[in-house]
Amino acid sequence: MPADGALAPRDGRPAESRGQRPPDSGTEGGAGRAETVEYAVDVARVSKAFGGVQALKDVTLRVAPGTIHALVGENGAGKSTLMNVLAGILRKDSGSVRIFGDEVTFGKPQESQRAGIAIIHQELALAQDLSVAENMFLGNLGQGGLFVNWRALNRRAGEALRQFGFDIAPTTRVGDLSVAYQQIVEITTALVLHDCRILIMDEPSAVLADPEIDVLFANLKQLRDQGVTIIYISHRLEELFRIADAITVFKDGQTVTDLDPKTCTEDDIIANMVGRRMGALFPPKPDPGATSDVVLRVDHLTRGRVLHDVSLTLHRGEILGLAGLVGSGRSELARCIFGIDRVDSGTIEIDGVARRIGRPAHAMRFGIGLVPEDRKRQGGILPMTISENLTLTNLREVSRFGLCNAAAERRVAERSKDSLRIRLGALCDPLSSLSGGNQQKVVVAKWLNAAGTVLILDEPTRGVDVGAKMELYAIVADLARQGYGILVISSEMMELIGLCHRVYVMSEGEITGELSGGDICEETIMRLSIPKRRKH
């Protein structure tokens, strides 16, 4: 792999070819000519409805060839719907789509792929137990024959990866790769094997650590310079100024405006997305009181090689931040406090009483709730109804003799829906029917129904749009005013700075610093987060 993490030059794809239709475009008279086109993607007045819900309404989008074009908007703004139209997953109701000048109407994904379009979703579509080569050729393992030629398959996969400068063994099990390298496998498959000219990426950085994001961005810039057009969807506004050549803002299924990242600000983007300026992002920090009680005390907690002598305190009415790079031990600490993982030594006190927490049921009994970082797999049960998810932590209140009382369940769910302003169709709908922000509200409300005193929020706004972030921040501040002690684990430093009274920083399983007031700043957090070279 190149030292800077960038892709190696792509054979036969010089930067000079940007903006040109290939010699054989499949249109009449196209053979043998390279015609310059103004737009790689030209969407005009496209609409799409699902029953009575208008997901897209007269949307326009123009993407210049060989550029990285960012698409932003709140959850439900229509971004993913339009991308699914371009990918052939959905069929538009009206309007026109032109790809490199040719009008197209895709009825299935294969037609979109033949036009040179590939989409990489936030949740990677890879078989974790298969090898890299098997994933890359999953739809054509036999290469047209009756039997699989494993030597040839691995050779072709290896050649494709080396073409981009990546030293990944094609026989490696995909599940053994980091998320960043799994993305590389998907990108390489799209670009080399499907001859992708337009690459759509939906929240590619959501599950990456900062060093992996740097590698991703270096790769995408290299692809852009080689002529690939990239449509980049992200909720992380700060990264748009690092990667994007142009920005289009969506709201309520419509195109709001186009912005130039060289001249606009984050405040401009937010104002167009939600109608509010950046200053309203974080609510005022509630006053926990100078003598507020300690609701959680962790003393000298140690677990194997992941936690080393960790100590911290959380007061009633306080929002406490936990910062650090991925792998620093933040989530591992939360798992130990909640009883998912056993500790080797150390103590945990709740309201001044030492508690032995051997499993999550103990933590719940002592008033601790945990909103995990992966809400879809760990926080909620997507096929179950919204009301069932809301009452999972207090089944005693909604059941008798082991049988659920539907009226009691509905009463608790209605109370939760109103208090956290959860936007939904019906309480009997599955949790999967909600947007990411409203799913997160359900997971938070579930723990509030358990009537605890300590709430741990691990990456509470991951994959959530700016508008939903504002609502979640307001909920956190309101809970602190009600007397909850809240521990917020976040990779977003601005979130910790804007929300928390104090911040502990972790590195390599240890607490490296405690910050408060004006000392909570990006520079100090990053300095304390970087692992130190250990003496041998």
Q: Return averaged pLDDT per consecutive 10 residues of the chain, 536 residues in all.
A: 39 39 40 63 92 86 95 81 92 94 91 89 81 84 73 88 77 84 80 79 75 80 89 86 94 90 87 64 81 90 93 95 87 94 94 93 93 82 90 83 84 88 87 85 89 91 79 92 94 88 94 92 84 51
- The CA distance from 509 to 42, in Å, is 50
Which pLDDT score is estimated for 223?
Answer: 85
Which pLDDT score is estimated for 144?
Answer: 58
Which pLDDT score is estimated for 8?
Answer: 39
Q: How many CB atoms lie within 10 A of CB 451?
A: 11
Q: How many CB atoms lie within 10 A of CB 100?
A: 24
Which pLDDT score is estimated for 102?
Answer: 92
Continuous H helices in 402-465: 406-419, 436-448
- Superfamily holding 8-116+197-204+234-280: P-loop containing nucleotide triphosphate hydrolases (3.40.50.300)
Put residue 523 in one of left, alpha, beta given phi > 0 → left and psi -120 to 50 → alpha. alpha
Which pLDDT score is estimated for 16?
Answer: 39
- The CA distance from 64 to 82, in Å, is 17
- Superfamily holding 289-367+455-531: P-loop containing nucleotide triphosphate hydrolases (3.40.50.300)
Which pLDDT score is estimated for 264?
Answer: 92
- The CA distance from 222 to 509, in Å, is 35
Q: pTM (2 decimals)?
A: 0.60
How far, CA to CA in Å, does 10 sit from each of 13, 193, 291?
6, 13, 63
DSSP-based helix, strand, coil % in the chain, nearest 5? 35, 25, 40
- The CA distance from 283 to 478, in Å, is 9
Q: How many CB atoms lie within 10 A of CB 98?
A: 17
First to last CA, the chain: 29
Domain boundaries, the chain: 8-116+197-204+234-280, 289-367+455-531, 374-451
Buried b / exposed e along 497-524 (16+ C-beta atoms within 10 A): bebbbbbbbbbbbbbbbebeeeebeeeb
Which pLDDT score is estimated for 209?
Answer: 66
Given this chain, do its domains 8-116+197-204+234-280 and 289-367+455-531 carry the same CATH topology? Answer: yes
Helix (H, G, I), strand (E, B) or coil at 285: coil
